Amino acid sequence: MKIEALKDLVAILSIEEKVGQLVQLTGDFFDSNNDVIETGPMKKIGFQKNKYELAHTGSLLNVVDAEEIYKIQKKYLENSKHKIPLLFMADIIYGYKTIFPIPLAQSGSWNFPLIEKSAKVIAKECYDAGIHVTFSPMVDLVRDPRWGRVLESPGEDPLLAKQYAKSMVRGIQGMQGDQISENHIAACVKHFAAYGAPQAGLEYGAVELSTDSLQNYYLPSYKAAIDADVKLVMTAFNTLNGIPCTGNKWLNKDILRETFNFTGLLISDYAAIEELKIHGFTENDQESAQLAFESSVDIDMKTSVYANHLPDLAKKDTRIMKLLDEAVLRVLQLKNALGLFEDPYRGLSELSNSHSVLSDKHKEVSQTLAEESIVLLKNKDILPIDENKKIALVGPYVDEPSALGFWAITGETKDTITLKAGLDSIKEEMKWKVQVAKGSNILEESDIESYAKYASAMSVDEKPKQQLLEEAIEIAKESNIVVMCLGESIYQSGEGGSRTTPVLPDEQVKLLKEIKKLGKQIVLIVYAGRPLILDNVIDDVSAVLYAWFPGTMGGYALANLLSGKVNPSGKLAMTMPRSIGQIPIFYNTYSSGRPIVENNPNHRFASRYLDEKNTPLYCFGYGLSYTEFEYSGFEIDKESMTEQDEIRVSIKVRNVGEKQGKEIVQLYLHDVAARVVRPIKELKDFKKITLNPHEERRIDFKITIDMLKYYNSNEEWASEPGKFEVIIGKDSNDQRFKGSFILED
Ligand code: GLC
């Protein structure tokens, strides 16, 4: 449809019909007979009597089955006066049926073209299921692993977060002009803004950020999604400096709409408009409707606030009426960009089943991404495991199908390739003898009860604890090497998953300590949705592979890494703390006026702890390989640059081992003196390269003026003349190769 036709359609809608387009409900409002709905969900959500007609609804949330979508759309259109199709939106964060590693893992692959491919797979599987919008990517920058939703985040670094945002939006939307092409759907970047910085890592906690922090670290990833033409933005639950994001006019109008020039749809998070009064931001729902709508929130997810109050507000105030027309036009424009007016089913047939789900091609993308996301943190000459070994596979994750992570809501655990299945697939070829014993459950009974609603997805072995332990000890005694696969439950992470003590469950630490007594070498594989504190086990093991929640193909990916068929290349996208007391800990910190100095490390009056090191257990950008990469020959081609030119820096990297490997070469800058102090180092570029044994390559980087700009106290992005340090290294801690240059005035 042409924009004029859309405007004509808006013009003929009643106010109630217009408001209906801004209401998002769940499928239960549409999947049974009317009186059940009246007394059920309609009553529960609080629609005022005779104030709302379901036939006016604009979109549904989390209806994800092709046949159900077809059935609801068909029945809806039969009752629709203006034949405006429903939009179907869902939380397909990192996979529909082919589940990928959690985003925090994916970002650690530093392979954004591959991430874009995974997004195309997500889009295709959603497209075939009739889903129109996915509430992905989540790009909230994170620095606090106590927060459960770090699993969904691209991590602590603005550059990686921007790359992730852009890759996901492009992969999901596959834009061709204004239309969203076939096999693609609309993306929704979230949560706007800075939901990843709750005080004390407490879920839904208040966010208090300076302008410097907000503009230089937390907002850029949302902007990257908007610059990639993301069609929707979702508000965040939290307050930002005392004002809830969902009613925050400065954030949503001044920043999002005007500064970031976002012209798409702003949707609230789940019930967030209704929560404005609970925040203490409004007295009642009518105020909430007014302030959210005036802040430019278009769609009210799953409450009756807009339905009950916007019609009267619009009738009383021509300004609101005008805003209402604009918001409804944005909804219709999205439906139009998806081609829904021409084909409300977007290719869905009555009996369509998604043929693309879990295709070999899709599974291959997931497995490769898992292989490149898993991080080798420690390896005392034990990995890869040689042929002819007797392996004891021990731990609650040995054959655990729930290793898909909290937000794999449409993934099916029956499809998960577990670690045991992975090893079974190669043990013949490797001449391995593999024995398996759980050794313990993921959680203690009491914890399992507290997760009762979710625990069904976790497998629980009813055998007595002592028996489980003895079985594990038995097979470990007979082995050459013990591979222990431990981890937090998927329900100790994700939304509502904040933990004050992000560690391995006690039950599992006890198991490891018992196995350790046997004197066998232990390879530890960690399943988690966050960096866990490993200080109580790290010295007991010879190697650590950090698997995160590796997705549907995790077992095969881990088998390939354990056997050396694939060489690990992942590098941490989020710092791993040494202890809880260090949190939040991240690489791009400020110097302070009294940093620890090498020649006096124990100076009392320095920025240090009395009872802990400042350094993390493993730093941002850290990850090992089965080969070694030697860096040499750092070069910088000029001592100074102007705003108009660039500086070239380079380094030679040689693979000095006997295995091909991938290395992520990282470029950091430090603006030595700025009127708003800059971090001691900031990632500005990186190259992921593949080198054959003994191959050497010179890796070039260009330093451009944009890399030197920051959001300053004059509220502008600008650079300042002066000295910059350049560091090229294998991780954020690598200080071996550095130079400097002057940005001329
Ligand atoms: C949830 C999450 C959000 C999700 C939405 C819809 O509470 O905060 O990320 O997209 O509700 O399920």
Q: Where are the domains of the chain?
A: 3-337, 375-569, 629-743
Find out whether the beta carbon of 330 lies less than 6 Å from any atom of ligand 1: no
pLDDT in the model for residue 446? 72
**135 CB within 6 A, ligand 1:** yes
What whole-number percentage of the chain has pLDDT above 70? 98
Whether pLDDT at 569 is above 90:
yes
Beta bridge partners of 722: 743
39 alpha carbon to ligand 1 midpoint, in Å?
Answer: 26
For the ranges 112-126, 338-352, 624-638, 731-745, the lowest mean pLDDT is seen at: 338-352
The atom of ligand 1 lying closest to the CA of 302 is 6
pLDDT recorded at residue 175: 74
Name which residue sits closest to atom 7 of ligand 1, judged by CA. 270
- Please state, in angstroms and rounded to a whole number, the distance separating the CA atoms of residues 48 and 654: 70
| Higher-scoring residue by pLDDT: 457, 650 | 650
Predicted confidence band at 350 (pLDDT cuts at 50, 70, 90)? low
Topology at the third CATH level for domain 3-337:
TIM Barrel (3.20.20)
Predicted confidence (pLDDT) at residue 608 exceeds the cutoff of 70: yes
Nearest atom of ligand 1 to the alpha carbon of 93: 10
Contact 406 CB / ligand 1 (< 6 Å): no
Closest to 80 in 3D by CA, of 350, 348, 344: 344
Q: What is the layout of strands, in order, in the sheet containing 722-729?
A: 640-641, 737-743, 722-729, 661-671, 682-691
Distance (Å) from CA 270 to ligand 1 centroid: 6
Structure tokens at 558: 């881990």
- The string over 319-356, giving b where at least 16 C-beta atoms fall within 10 Å of a residue's C-beta and e elsewhere, is ebbebbbebbbbbbbbbbbbbbbeebbbebeeebebeb
Distance CA 189, CA 64 (A): 19
Q: Is the CB of 269 under 6 A from ligand 1?
A: yes
Residue 231 CA to residue 252 CA, distance in Å, equals 15
Ligand 1, residue 190: give the atom nearest the CA: 9
Q: What is the pLDDT of residues 177-226, one digit of tens each?
A: 889 989 999 999 999 999 999 999 999 999 999 999 999 999 999 999 99
In this prediction, residues 662-675 reach a mean pLDDT of 98
Average pLDDT over residues 41-50: 86
What whole-number distance in Å separates Cα of residue 574 and Cα of residue 156? 5
Out of 3.40.50.1700, 3.30.10.20, 3.30.1950.10, 3.30.365.10, select the CATH number for domain 375-569. 3.40.50.1700
269 is catalytic: yes
Q: Specify the residue with its C-alpha closest to ligand 1, atom 1.
A: 270
pLDDT above 70: residue 452:
no
The residue whose CB lies within 8 Å of the most ligand 1 atoms, and thus the one to mutate among 135, 139, 189, 303, is 135
Q: Is residue 270 within 6 Å of ligand 1 at its C-beta?
A: yes
Q: Give the C-alpha separation, 449 to 284, whole Å.
A: 37
Q: What is the mean pLDDT of the segment spanning 18-25?
A: 98
Going from the Cα of 192 to the center of ligand 1, the distance in angstroms, rounded, reads 12
Rounded Cα–Cα distance for residues 404 and 423 (Å): 18
**Considering only 45-54, 110-119, 219-228, 596-605, which range has the smallest mean pLDDT?**
45-54
Q: Is 96 in the pocket of ligand 1 (CB under 6 A)?
A: no
- Nearest C-alpha to atom 6 of ligand 1 is from which residue? 270
* pLDDT for 592: 97
Q: Does ligand 1 have an atom closer than 6 angstroms to the CB of 471?
A: no
Mean pLDDT of all residues in 452-471: 84
In this model, does residue 530 exceed pLDDT 70?
yes
495 lines ligand 1 (CB under 6 A): yes
> Which atom of ligand 1 is closest in space to residue 188's alpha carbon?
10
91 close to ligand 1 (CB < 6 Angstrom): yes
> Which ligand 1 atom sits nearest the alpha carbon of residue 195?
8
The answer on pLDDT for 296 being more than 90 is yes
pLDDT band, residue 665 (cuts 50/70/90): very high
Ligand 1 atom at minimal distance to the Cα of residue 138: 9
Q: Quick one: 147 exposed, middle or buried, by C-beta within 10 A (0-12, 13-18, 19+)?
A: buried
Kind of pairing between the strands at 186-192 and 265-267: unpaired
Cβ of 190 closer than 6 Å to ligand 1, yes or no, is yes
Q: How far is the CA of 26 from the centre of ligand 1 (A)?
A: 13
Two domains, one topology: 375-569 and 629-743: no
Distance between CA atoms of 551 and 53, rounded to whole angstroms? 41
pLDDT exceeds cutoff 90 at 724: yes
Q: What is the rounded average pLDDT of the residues 511-528?
A: 98
What is the reported pLDDT for 454?
Answer: 66
Q: What is the mean pLDDT of the chain?
A: 95
Minimum mean pLDDT among 32-41, 69-78, 149-158, 629-638: which range? 32-41
Query: One-letter amino acid identity for 507?
Result: E
User: Is 111 exposed, middle or buried (CB count within 10 Å of its CB: 0-12, 13-18, 19+)?
Assistant: buried
Cα of 269 from ligand 1 centre, angstroms? 6
pLDDT tens readout for residues 363-420? 999 999 999 999 999 999 999 999 999 999 999 999 999 889 999 999 999 999 999 9
**Crossing angle of helices 285-294/305-316, nearest 10°?**
70
CA–centroid distance, 496 to ligand 1, in Å, is: 11
Domain 629-743 is found in CATH 2.40.50.140: no
16 C-beta neighbours (distance < 10 Å), count: 15
Ligand 1 pocket, mutate which of 59, 61, 88, 91 (most atoms under 8 A from CB): 91
CA of 42 to the centre of ligand 1 (A): 21
Instruction: Give helix 112-129 / helix 66-78 axis angle, nearest 10°.
Output: 50
Average pLDDT over residues 161-190: 94
Given the residues 128, 269, 399, 424, the one annotated as active site? 269
Distance 234 CA to ligand 1 centre (A): 9
Q: Which residues contact 473 (CB under 8 A, 6 or more apart)?
A: 514, 515, 518
pLDDT digits (tens, 9 = 90+) for 274-288: 999 999 999 999 999
pLDDT at 41: 84
Contact 63, 27 (CB under 8 A): yes
Residue 32 has pLDDT above 70, yes or no: no
- Average the pLDDT over each of 27-41, 85-99, 725-739 and give the range with the smallest value: 27-41
Looking at residue 360, its pLDDT comes to 97
